[in-house]
Amino acid sequence: MTLATRLYTWLRGAHVGTDQFGNRYYRDKTGASRCDGLREKRWVMYNGDVEASRVPPAWHAWLHHIVTDPPAPGAATRPWQKEHVPNLTGTAAAYRPPGHEFKGGKRARATGDYEPWTPN
């Protein structure tokens, strides 16, 4: 975050909540009562690297005015819902399939009717 963002948050921001990753969510203190007809301003202060995929779905919906109320701290989840995982592409924890160069570069021999193309 920049110095200007910190200053704006300190002067005009009202803390709304924090997610499981430590990201803090704010809304403009003036709220929806603005006379110019605009929606209230909402933003996130990331804990660590600024990466949009680190915002859980419930907070994403609140940030983008899909829902009016921020998610409750202990909101119930459905049995089929998985825990939110940020995008790990480009990190050491990224998925690498068998045969990837970072996993030895060897893959299992193909079976079935697969025949690799070889130029003449």
SS3 of residue 15 by DSSP: strand
* Contacts of residue 107, Cβ cutoff 8 Å, sequence gap at least 6: 98, 99
DSSP 38-87: PPPPEEEE-SSS--GGGS-HHHHHHHTTSSSSPPPTT----TTPPPP---
**Cβ contact 42:27 at 8 Å:** yes
Quote the DSSP letter at residue 14. Answer: E
| pLDDT recorded at residue 1 | 66
Q: What is the pLDDT of residue 85?
A: 83
pLDDT reported for residue 16: 94
pLDDT of residue 95: 87
With a CB cutoff of 8 Å and minimum separation 6, the contacts of 23 are 44, 45, 46, 47, 54, 55, 59
The model scores a pTM over 0.75: no
Q: What is the DSSP letter of 44?
A: E
Q: Which residue has the higher pLDDT, 42 or 115?
A: 42
Return the structure tokens found at 74.
């202990």
Cβ atoms within 10 A of the Cβ of 109, count? 6
Condensed to tens digits (0 to 9), the pLDDT of residues 65-95 reads 999 999 988 777 788 888 888 888 888 888 8
Q: State how far the Cα of 54 lies from the Cα of 67, in Å rounded to an integer.
A: 19
Tens digit of each residue's pLDDT (9 = 90 or more) over 7-59: 989 999 999 999 988 999 999 987 655 555 678 899 999 998 888 888 998 99
Q: How is residue 84 annotated by DSSP? A: P
